[in-house]
Structure 1
Amino acid sequence: MSELSVDRRPDRLEVTLDHPSTRNAISRAMVDELHAVCAELEAEPRILVLAGSPEVFASGADIAELRERTAADALAGINSRIFDRIARLPMPVIAAIDGWALGGGAELAYAADIRIAGEGLRIGNPETGLGIIAAAGATWRLPEIVGDALARELLFTGRTLDAGEALAAGLVSRVVPSTELLKAAHEIADRIARNDPLATRLTKAVLAAPRSAHPAIDEQTQALLFESPEKRRRMTEFLTRKKKPT
């Protein structure tokens, strides 16, 4: 891969946006490489850790490419469809974001299940200043994450949030020193990896279900897991540990 660096491990993929000459701009080539990553994770579900560099997570779409795109390109959903595919991956997606995360870079982060930030984060959607809208998920994911009022302000003004503001808004779940960011992301992945993969996958699926599907989908999913050999094994192991003298 030319625009991504991929570290494959048994329970996860660490994927780093790695095209410094464009400040990790999300080009068509990067989109194609992200589709290849998604295909791999759909075939063999694992956790995805997404990262950039300390100075820039992703500076947005490649403006030189974007300027030449037409109505047909917009209708093709080049960025929105890859971000949606990432959001729908079977296992959790952790975005470790630091530096600039703008436009499409911000929307890529919004597609993750968990976002943690380095202290240098600056995130926002300046699209209206370029004569377009944030059409790859921000208009509906951002209100779900930070609430309608703040999302409208950010999308109308193009204002960026720093790490502290992003934490206060609930856009990220924690802020760590930039030098500790990737380590913190993998610590979260470690905790997820210790749990039952099937239960984790089904939790993600239930979280994505519409409100009208609850509580029936919760009950049906729990019924499936109640018959799982892994549930019995893990609970038996828990009870055995509990009985051991301290």
Structure 2
Amino acid sequence: MTAPEITAPELTTVAFDQLEDRYIVTLDRPERRNAINAAMIGELHQVCTAIERDPRPLILVGRGDHFAGGADIGELRERGLNEALAGINRTLFDRVAALPMPVVGAISGYALGGGAELAYACDIRIASATAVFGNPEPGLGILAAAGATYRLPELVGASVAKQVILAGHRLDAEAALRHGLVMEITDDPLAAAHAVVDRIVAQAPLAIRLAKTIVDAPGSHPWVNDIAQAVLFGTDDKRHRMTAFLERGARTTPDNK
């Protein structure tokens, strides 16, 4: 089943490109450093719906010099108790993190506040040398409540996460690489993200989907691995891939060189 096309008039804050084997979502408010407002939240939910119907890897990138400079402060100032309890941003970022296939973030410039939390929701992050991650929310009288408090400690450890969330420390690209937050630093993170997705789509789609689900599942459940492996062992894809591997090996033995 092919995902329904989302036409340009329906999307004003993001661009959604549907390729044969991947999606590209571009945060598209460069004049506001791609600040995440209510309209963008709604449009990203539309995008998630399309991706969930036809799962493929996703690349997330920001238009211009920045990934996302944060949430829209003007809108946040007017939110009250009910909006906070609704977890408006958190619900979206949790949905992005739970997408069936891997999400690769191509990060340049600012990934701050809600922008950082959206980056944390990606499975893999690739940075340019200009990338900066941070969570300045307490300085605005609020909490980094859209994923930073539970995702960042898993990504970089509790000590570094506390430095970012409690002390306002920012991680530049080198620090993010050193702490494992990003996979690599490159002049062209979007091209590098495509290269990562090239490697992902060359692998068995069901194996990638199950592996992501198991890695993200809380706790240790070895029996889940056994069940997932049993499913994969019964697929034609597994047999074809292993047969091809063995045939390649036979063709490269010393007697056949």
Normalised to the residue count of structure 2, the TM-score between the two structures is 0.93
> Counterpart in 1 of 2:239?
232
> Identity of counterpart residues, as a percentage?
53
Which secondary structure state, in structure 2, belongs to the residue aligned with residue 94 of structure 1?
A: strand
What whole-Å deviation, never above 9, does each CA across 1:147-185 have from its counterpart, x for those lacking one? 0011011101112111001101111111111xx211100
> Counterpart in 2 of 1:93?
103
> Counterpart in 2 of 1:217?
224
Contact 1:31/1:82 (<8 A) preserved? yes
Cα distance in structure 2, aligned partners of 1:209 and 1:56:
31
Aligned-residue CA RMSD in angstroms? 0.9
> Counterpart in 2 of 1:148?
158
Amino acid at match of 1:209: A
Structure 2 unpaired stretches of 5+: 1-10
Cα distance in structure 2, aligned partners of 1:225 and 1:55:
42
Cα distance in structure 2, aligned partners of 1:151 and 1:209:
21
Contact 2:29/2:63 (<8 A) preserved? no
Q: How many residues were matched structurally?
A: 243
Cα distance in structure 1, aligned partners of 2:224 and 2:147:
25
> Counterpart in 1 of 2:93?
83
Normalised to the residue count of structure 1, the TM-score between the two structures is 0.97
Cα distance in structure 1, aligned partners of 2:134 and 2:216:
24
1:27 corresponds to 2:34 = no
Which secondary structure state, in structure 2, belongs to the residue aligned with residue 232 of structure 1?
A: helix
Contact 1:11/1:46 (<8 A) preserved? yes
What whole-Å deviation, never above 9, does each CA across 1:45-74 have from its counterpart, x for those lacking one? 000000013521101110000000000000
1:41 corresponds to 2:48 = no
1:191 corresponds to 2:199 = yes
1:205 to 213, 217, 229: 213
Structure richer in strand, relative to its length: 1
Cα distance in structure 2, aligned partners of 1:168 and 1:203:
25
Structure 1 unpaired stretches of 5+: none
What whole-Å deviation, never above 9, does each CA across 1:123-149 have from its counterpart, x for those lacking one? 100000000010000001000000001
> Counterpart in 2 of 1:69?
79
Contact 2:107/2:127 (<8 A) preserved? yes
- CA drift at 1:240: 1.2
Amino acid at match of 2:198: D
1:137 corresponds to 2:144 = no
Which secondary structure state, in structure 2, belongs to the residue aligned with residue 174 of structure 1?
A: coil
Amino acid at match of 2:164: L
